[in-house]
Structure 1
């Protein structure tokens, strides 16, 4: 009986924690970090503010957990693409385009998680998140270089630059002040342009003679 009670208690703890994080994410997606106040999070989750503080010391810890979960989900997608049976050029293009398009599909949430001003503690978590993205892109670039398809001087620097292109290219489209309402075709076009740029920066272009023989 004691074990069953303990198991039920643990399940309730996990459910409450999940509800708090989901509510925080929902509020951020609606209006940014300023909307994700502890009281608002508690009300949306259907718990008391006191209960929120039983799981998290402060608001920053909640935001860090939301950021961590979101970025791990995106990184898992990138890693899945890197393992697909595709030419490495297609892997890189698909990884970049997918990341950018997913950001555009959730503009307020993406802006807040990647770009909105935050305190130092959350900013450090954001820095670690970008490193995870870099590691996923690094793997694809390394494969391309090994196969003689990609060319660059330094793998780590190239991966960092590519993550910079992926994350900072969306600053203007995601800016809530400008209220850009991209339709799906515009999102597709924009994400393709960013992916085209990233791929062209590392791909070895084949040159041809007049008689169509490769050099």
Structure 2
């Protein structure tokens, strides 16, 4: 019955890995990547420092795994919101509003995901998830052009412009040294700007 100890060992390994990822997510939300040192991660997870390397070859690999988990969760939330709407304008509105409000509710985590200087391994993950948002926006714009809801345009370029505008506009409010204010007027303004940029009727 050798499979039983193997199964228990694997379960323990997975549990330790999840504890490390959870600890890294907490530290990321509190102080960004700089706060997620190996010793801090081990201490927060309640494991020996050396055991971290039993699960991740390096701190960079660990942080890339954390980025995939957190960014993937955020992307799925936006995808669900977009798919629940009908029409290009409403889908784009959902994309901008849900992305922005979620970011502004967790500014330190959002800053780490969007703008904090990172290792190339994490930067690769950042680019991958950014392309996921581009694809969402491009699909909505292309469908709007096809249906006549939006004027003829390069859907890929328009999508890149929309995602770029949202990301750039959020940098100030999300910055660790930025001022916090009521997010509603900000989100409404950036949403209107993006809708107008693709020719949607915002009257």
TM-score scaled by length of structure 2: 0.92
Alignment of 1:45-194 (within 5 A): 45-178=45-178, 180-182=179-181, 186-194=182-190
SS of 1:170's equivalent in the other structure is: helix
Change (3 A) 1:34 1:148: same
Indicate whether 1:198 and 2:198 are aligned.
no
CA distance in 2, matches of 1:5, 1:206: 62
Return 89-98 or 197-206, whichever deviates more.
197-206
Instruction: Give 5+ residue unaligned stretches, structure 1.
Output: 208-215
CA distance in 1, matches of 2:202, 2:66: 44
- Higher helix share goes to which structure? 2
Do the aligned residues in 2 keep the contact of 1:98 with 1:191 (CA within 8 Å)?
no
Change (3 A) 1:206 1:200: closer
CA distance in 2, matches of 1:152, 1:66: 40
CA distance in 2, matches of 1:75, 1:177: 26
Change (3 A) 1:152 1:81: farther
Aligned-pair distance for 1:50? 1.2
Aligned-pair distance for 1:34? 1.0
Computing the radius of gyration from Cα coordinates, the structure with the larger value is 1
Do the aligned residues in 1 keep the contact of 2:196 with 2:202 (CA within 8 Å)?
no
Return 40-49 or 83-92, whichever deviates more.
83-92
Aligned-pair distance for 1:153? 2.4
Aligned-pair distance for 1:85? 4.5
CA distance in 2, matches of 1:162, 1:99: 12
Do the aligned residues in 1 keep the contact of 2:82 with 2:94 (CA within 8 Å)?
no
Aligned-pair distance for 1:83? 2.1
TM-score scaled by length of structure 1: 0.87
